[in-house]
């Protein structure tokens, strides 16, 4: 009984931890939106904007990755 409650808690916790990915998705979308707008207005700046966009995406994606690591750690009983 106690074991199955622990099991359920692990799965629920892993699912809840992934909620943070929603924010990261919004962040990635916003940075792509800004970069695409800039590229459309000024196609010459394509290279610079692409670099900065990838950097920004990596920053917001890192948050989703933190969530993913936490939920993996919960799922596979690492900690």
Partner 1 sequence: METKKRTPWRRWIVLLLMFLGCAAGGGLAGYGLAGIPPVRPEITAAAEKLIAEPIVDNFLGLAPLYLVNTLPTLGLTIVLLILIAYFTNRSLNRSLKTDLVPRGIGNLMEAILEALYNMTEGSAGAKWAKTIFMWFATIMIYVLFANLLKLLPGFESIGVLHPAHGEGFAIRELGGGWSYLLPHQVEEGGFILAPFFRGISVDLNFTVSLALIAVVAVQAIGFRALGLGYLKKFFNFGNVFKVPFFGVIDMGMGILELVSEFAKILSFAFRLFGNMFAGVVLVAVASSLIGFISIVPAMLFLFELFVGVIQAFVFGILTMVFMVMATAGHGHEEEHAPEGSQTEVHEL
Using the rule CB under 8 A, which residue among 7, 17, 69, 74 binds partner 1? 69
User: Taken in order 9, 61, 26, 23, is the CA torsion positive or negative?
Assistant: positive
Query: Is 39 a binder of partner 1 (CB under 8 A)?
Result: no
Length of the chain: 79
Give the list of residues 6+ apart from residue 70 with CB closer than 8 angstroms, or none.
14, 17
Minimal distance, residue 36 CB to partner 1, in Å: 16
Tell me which residues touch partner 1 (CB under 8 A): 42, 44-45, 48, 51, 54-55, 58, 61-62, 65-66, 68-69, 72-73, 76, 78-79
């Amino acid at each position: 009984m106690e074991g199955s409650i622990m099991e359920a808690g692990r799965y629920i916790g892993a699912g809840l931890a992934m909620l943070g990915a929603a924010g990261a998705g919004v962040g990635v979308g916003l940075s792509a939106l800004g970069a695409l707008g800039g590229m459309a207005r000024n196609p010459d700046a394509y290279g610079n904007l692409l670099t900065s966009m990838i950097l920004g995406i990596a920053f917001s994606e890192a948050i989703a990755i933190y969530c993913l690591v936490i939920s993996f750690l919960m799922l596979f009983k690492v900690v």
